Amino acid sequence: MLKYYKPYTSGKRGESAVNYRSKVNRKNPHKPLAKRLKKQAGRNNRGRITVRHHGGGEKRKYREIDFKQTKLGVPAKVESIEYDPNRSAFITLIAYRDGEKSYILAPSGLEVGSILEFKDEAPLEAGNRMCIQHVPVGTEIYNLEMKPGRGAQTIRSAGSSGQVLAVEPTHALVRLPSGEVRKVPNNVYVSIGRVSNEEHMLQNIGRAGRSRRRGLRPTVRGSAMNPVDHPHGGGEGRQPVGLKSPKTPWGKVAHGKKTRKKNKPSDRFIVSRRRRKK
């Protein structure tokens, strides 16, 4: 559920945010699973900016998320559902029956006190993790492994989910959130349900200061730059792009150009490509 603010300033007008108080029941992270996060501000080990528009922002602690969940056969109890500043989804602190604790991504509809199971064949309840060959066709899944033992690699952002379309002797067909249908080995593990915080994409940032506190710096239009700084730069006043197609600051085609490597080895696992944006 989103919350809206009274328009007592022009920045607050239209601003909205996820009402975390109704979804999160713990403020501070579990200390043994939280560590200091050093900021790079988009710079590499040589100090050069490799990712633009990063810098500043609030201090954060990194929560160590268990994407592999290798403690199979040991039930775990949900102790809390927490906010994680490093990702769009909520996380949940679970305590295994043997006393060990860990963080995992929280699925939608999970409640404190629930018992989760991680094994080859588990009940079809939100948060349980099981082998994909035992998942019924049509089930919503998240935290999908691409190779056995790698841990969850895809379907991890807020509100996303995939769907099992078929289970074959060696592979399973999965529809990813992008619409791409892909083959994965039938011995990989997936979690049942949909990732939490579905309203994440519906909130309106509203003002520049809120973006800066997230660590996002301003983005300058290429057409507002000089020709030496950007292919779109130069000209008197507001000039159009004087090129056949828009380009990046490094001169590469920006819109419509396919960037996927040709003859990539994993192409053989793609059954149908993702949907095109209209």
Residue 143 to residue 168: CA distance in whole angstroms: 20
Burial class (CB in 10 A: 0-12, 13-18, 19+), 199: middle
> How far is the C-alpha of 92 from the C-alpha of 109, rounded, in Å?
12
Please count the other Cβ atoms lying within 10 Å of the Cβ belonging to residue 101. Answer: 15
Judged by average pLDDT, the poorest of 80-84, 109-113, 272-276 is 272-276
- Smallest CA-to-CA distance from 176 within 199, 157, 203 is with 157
Residue 143: CATH number of its domain: 2.40.50.140
Report the alpha-carbon distance of residue 3 to residue 17 in Å, rounded.
6
Task: Answer whether 173's CB lies under 8 Å from 160's CB.
Answer: no
d(CA 40, CA 72): 36
Please state the pTM of the whole predicted model: 0.85
pLDDT digits (tens, 9 = 90+) for 91-118: 999 999 888 899 999 998 888 888 888 8
**Is the separation of the CB atoms in 131 and 188 below 8 Å?**
yes
Q: What mean pLDDT do residues 77-90 have?
A: 91
CB 71 within 8 A of CB 96: yes
Position 240 in a domain? no
Q: Is the residue at 12 inside a domain? A: no
Q: For every residue of 156-222, which 3-state class applies, written as one string?
A: CCCCCCEEEEEECCCEEEEECCCCCEEEEECCCEEEECCECCHHHHHCCCCCHHHHHHCCECCCCCH
Question: What pLDDT does residue 14 have?
Answer: 86
What is the rounded distance in angstroms from the CA atom of residue 158 to the CA atom of residue 201? 8
Is residue 261 in a domain? Answer: no
**CB of 247 within 8 A of CB of 254?**
yes
Across the chain, mean pLDDT equals 89
Q: Tell me, what amino acid is at 267?
A: D
In a domain, 165, yes or no: yes
Instruction: Burial-class residue 270 by CB neighbours within 10 Å (0-12, 13-18, 19+).
Output: middle
Is 75 a domain residue?
yes
* In-domain check, residue 260: no
Question: Is pLDDT of 277 > 70?
Answer: no
Tens of pLDDT, residue by residue over 209-226, are 999 999 999 999 999 999
Q: Does 58 map to a domain? A: yes
- Give me the domain span that covers residue 96: 18-200
The H-assigned helical ranges of the chain are: 208-213
Total structural domains within the chain: 1
Separation CA 171–CA 186 (nearest Å): 5
Retrieve residue 149's tokens. Answer: 């033992």
Residue 8 located in a structural domain: no
* 4-48 confidence digits (pLDDT tens): 999 998 888 889 998 888 888 877 889 999 999 888 899 999 999
> Does pLDDT of 278 surpass 70?
no
Contact indicator for 120, 133 with CB cutoff of 8 Å: no
